[in-house]
Amino acid sequence: MQQDTNEWVRALEARLATTQEQVQQLEAERAAGPARAGRRNFLKLAAAGAAVGTAAAVGSSASPAAASTGGALMIGLPNSPSSTNDPTVLISPSATALSGSLLWVKNYTLTYSMVDPKWRSSIVGSTSDVDASSGFRMGVVGEVSPFSDADKKGIGVLGIANRPEVGGIPDELPLPTEPVGVLGYSSAQGVAGSGTAVKGFVNDGSTTIGVHGVTVNTVGVQAEATASGGIGLHAVAPTTAIAARVQGRFRQVAAASPGAPSFSPSSIGEQWRDSNGDMWICATTGTPGTWRKVVAQHPNFPSAGGSVNFLLNPIRILDTRPSSTAPQNNGLSPLTANTDLVVDISTIAVGSVQVPSGATGIIGNLTAVPLASNGFMTLWAENVALPGTSNLNFRAGVNIANSFVCALSPAGKVRIRASVATNVLLDVVGFLF
C-alpha cells in the first residue's frame, strides 16, 4: 500500500510539472499577441486540467493523503489546516435567502428530514436507533477538557440569542468563572427582552422533562441574577388561558422522612420539603446547620394569622387616665359602661415603633383601673360582632392586668367594651403577620 501511494504521488508531481510548463507557454504566447489566444489555447488549458484529473484517477485505488489548507475535505480521513489561522468556513450562497442547513451530519439516519421547512440552521446533527448496539445516541456533543491552569476556563457549547449580525460587540459576553458544558446567552443589543438564553420545551402531558439537571454532591441547576433587577428563577404561563394554573407554579418533591434534614453540610437559604409536606429553611450554615420550619396556616383559615413578630420594645397605644400621654386617650375620660371604644392600632406610632399595616393580630396587655364597681372587659376585632367572652375581670378599686392575643380588622383596629365605667390601658408587645 505504501509503494502504491508513493507511485501515485510521483505520477501526480510529474503531471503537475507538465501542467506548469503548459501554463507558462500559454502566458508567453498571450504576451506575444492577443490574436494567438483563441480556441487552441482553451484546448491546451482543458488538456492540462484533464492531465491533473488523470493523475487523480491513477491514484484513486491508493489511500489519499489527509486534506490540508486549500485541499478538498476528505471523507474518512483527518482534515487539518496548515495553520491555526486557516478556519474552514461555510457561507450561504445568498445574502437574502438562507440555506436550510449549511452542514448536516447524519449518523445511522438515512431517511430523516427536517420537520419544519422554515428552519434555517448552520449545523444539524442527527442520529437514530436503527442499530442494535447499546450506545447512547447524541445528535451534537460539545466537550471541554479540564485545564491545568486555573486561569483558563472552557465552554463546551455556546448559544447566543438576540445579538445583531451587524454592529454586535464580540466581547460583551460575561464568560463564566468555571468550566461550563452548555452556556446560553441572550444579548441586550437586539430587541430588548426578546431573547431566551436556554429554553426547554415539552409538548406532552406525560412525565417528560424540559430541562433536567443532575448532580451527585454539587448543584443540579443554578439560577443566578447578576443585577438588582434580575430574576434567578421565573415560573410563567405561556398563555392567559392556563395562567391561573401554571403562573408561578413550582413543585418540590417531598423527602421520605418527616422533620428537618440531617444531611451535612447545609448552607443558609437551602429549602427542604419533608414527608409531611412541611417546608424547612436552613437559617445557619453548618454541619448539619440550623433548620427552621416555615409557619403553616390551616387551610380553613387562610387569612387568620401567620408569623409572630415582636416589636423593638413594648408600646402603650391607649391610656384613658387623666395623666395619660398615650397617643389615644378617649378624651382623658374612662370608658362608658357597655359602650364600644374603637382603638386604631396599625397607624399609630409611639416614638419610632409601630405595628405595621397588614398585621392580622396583636399581642399585648390589657389593664383595668376600676372606679367604684366590679366588672369585666372585652377586646375584639373592630369589624366583627361582640363575642360572648371577656379578657379581663376586675373588682372595684383594684388595678388588674391580663395578657391577650387579639385579631385586628382589615383596617388594623380593635374594639374595647367594659360592663361598668373604668379607665383602661392597652399595651402592645408584638403582632401577627
**String of b and e for 8-43 (b: at least 16 CB within 10 Å)?**
beeebeebeeebeebeeebeeeeeeeeeeeeeeeee
Residue 338 has pLDDT above 60, yes or no: yes
pLDDT (tens digit, 9 = 90+) per residue, 32-49?
Answer: 655 444 545 544 554 545
Out of 86-90, 240-244, 352-356, 400-404, pick the least confident. 240-244
Quickly state the pLDDT bin for 56 (edges 50, 70, 90): very low
**What is the rounded CA–CA span in Å between residue 406 and residue 413?**
10
Residue 237's identity, in one-letter code, is A
Residue 60 has pLDDT above 50, yes or no: no
Q: What grid cell was written down for 414?
A: 380593635
Out of 108-122, 306-320, 399-413, pick the least confident. 108-122
8 Å CB contact between 368 and 396 = no
Nearest to 309 by CA among 366, 273, 363: 363
pLDDT of residue 381: 97
Scan for cell 394569622, then name that residue: 305
8 Å CB contact between 289 and 266 = yes
DSSP assignment of 161-178: ES--SSS--GGGS---SS
Scan for cell 363575642, then name that residue: 387
Question: What's the whole-model pTM score?
Answer: 0.49
**What is the rounded CA–CA span in Å between residue 406 and residue 317?**
14
Nearest to 109 by CA among 138, 82, 145: 138
Distance from chain centroid for Cα 48: 63
8 Å CB contact between 238 and 218 = no
